[in-house]
Amino acid sequence: MPKKSMRDALREALHEEMERDDSIIVLGEDVITHGGPYAVTRGIDEKFPGRIRQTPISEAGIVGTALGAALCGMRPVAEVMYVDFATCAMDEVVNQMAKVRYMFGGQTDVPVVLRLPSGSARLLAAQHSQCLEAWFLHVPGLQVVVPSTAYDAKGLLKTALRGKDPVLFMEYKRLYTNECEVPDEDYAIPFGQADVKREGRDVTIVATGPMVPKALEAADLLSPEGIEVEVVDTRTLVPFDKATVFASVGKTNRAIVTDEEVKRGGTSAEIASLIAEECFDALDAPVKRVAAAEVPMPFSPELEKLVVPKTEHLVAAARELVG
């Protein structure tokens, strides 16, 4: 099977789906000139002329236009350059996109996919490095997807493009160049199915997006010490696959929940709470959260390193839980 980067896998999913379905259109800032800030939409203009629009710098306009197009029967894929700029489109996302099916009694589908490059990369500072999943988890009506591998990215984007309701598709910038085997042919990964990326018996790490490769690294480091880590990749946060997570914690009796978001009020709080509520009797130790420090992302490279959660934090947390 060929190896592909997440960026290429996403592009492949877009091309294949646009070929299959004429109603799919793409819009966003610089999506033609540069193929977007991370070149995911490169080549679409040549292959599907007229079906990709380069917009002014106005996120409220981009999301509002995408929503209108969806209500009129199109399937827009809107790129917001950085998830941070979704703050400029919050009214459209929360008050309109998430609520429109409910407010109009289900008269129309709302098949919008918002692609949102997320997370720290290198020195992008406070307004280009955020992880905002927790906000959107808290907004009923939105589906939230966070792929961690190229394979998952392609399969999940296909499902997003075939659905009837809005999807916030979080693309972690650090993962764009990560490669893995990705089939050339068509496949889709259903929402609501977590993936056990590694089996283990001693401690479960429930990881999201960029923390999945770090959890796998931690597992490699801990195995020689006799600590076998099970790594569960959530893949989609809404809908959330409780069954896989609870089954794993039921087996290992210890859990670490990790994501790159600000810890206070982040997704890890919700998942840790669910585990504490539903697996109370199975737990041999408190659920640990490993997430980002509670500060805006600093510009200084040394400070950035201190804020973003690392493999060694997971290793330390696992040792504490097992010890």
Show which residues are catalytic: 128
Q: Minimum Å distance from CB 282 to another protein?
A: 11
From residue 272 to residue 301, the character string flagging contacts with another protein as x (rule: CB under 8 A) and all else as - is: xx--xxx-x--x-xxxxx----xxx-----
Nearer to another protein, 133 or 171 (CB): 133
The dihedral over CA atoms of 193, 197, 200, 205, expressed in degrees to the nearest 10, equals: -70
Q: Which residues in 132-191 contact another protein (CB under 8 A)? A: 134-135, 137-141
Q: Minimum Å distance from CB 230 to another protein?
A: 20
One of 73, 106, 190, 265 touching another protein (CB under 8 A): 265
The verdict on 200 binding another protein (CB under 8 A) reads no
Q: Minimum Å distance from CB 275 to another protein?
A: 8
Distance from C-alpha of 89 to C-alpha of 92, rounded to nearest angstrom:
5
Q: Which residues in 56-115 contact another protein (CB under 8 A)? A: 84-85, 87-88, 90-91, 93-95, 98-99, 102-103
The verdict on 128 binding another protein (CB under 8 A) reads no
Q: Minimum Å distance from CB 45 to another protein?
A: 29
Q: Minimum Å distance from CB 299 to another protein?
A: 9
Distance from C-alpha of 168 to C-alpha of 171, rounded to nearest angstrom:
10
Distance from C-alpha of 157 to C-alpha of 278, rounded to nearest angstrom:
30
The position carrying tokens 């010890």 is 323
The verdict on 303 binding another protein (CB under 8 A) reads no
Q: Where are the beta strands (DSSP E) in the chain?
A: 3-5, 24-28, 52-54, 75-79, 113-118, 143-145, 167-172, 179-181, 195-198, 203-207, 229-233, 236-238, 255-262, 288-292
Nearer to another protein, 88 or 221 (CB): 88
Nearer to another protein, 54 or 87 (CB): 87
Q: Could you tell me which stretch among 13-21, 129-137, 205-213, 309-317 binds another protein (CB under 8 A)?
A: 129-137
Contact assessment for residue 74 and residue 82, using Cβ atoms and an 8 Å cutoff: no
Nearer to another protein, 102 or 187 (CB): 102
The verdict on 261 binding another protein (CB under 8 A) reads yes
Q: Minimum Å distance from CB 290 to another protein?
A: 12
CB neighbour class for 300 (10 Å; exposed up to 12, middle 13-18, buried from 19): exposed
Output DSSP code: residue 58. -
The verdict on 238 binding another protein (CB under 8 A) reads yes
Nearer to another protein, 19 or 294 (CB): 294
Cis peptide before 301 (omega within 30 of 0): no
Q: Where are the beta strands (DSSP E) in 244-301?
A: 255-262, 288-292
Q: Minimum Å distance from CB 303 to another protein?
A: 11
Distance from C-alpha of 228 to C-alpha of 190, rounded to nearest angstrom:
28
One of 76, 147, 266, 309 touching another protein (CB under 8 A): 266
Nearer to another protein, 69 or 262 (CB): 262
The position carrying tokens 């990964």 is 189
Residue whose C-alpha is closest to residue 158's, from 141, 123, 183: 183
Taking CA atoms, 297 is separated from 119, 260, 283, 300, 303, in Å, by 10, 11, 33, 9, 8
Task: Write out the residues near another protein by the rule CB under 8 A.
Answer: 84-85, 87-88, 90-91, 93-95, 98-99, 102-103, 126-127, 134-135, 137-141, 238, 261-262, 264-270, 272-273, 276-278, 280, 283, 285-289, 294-296
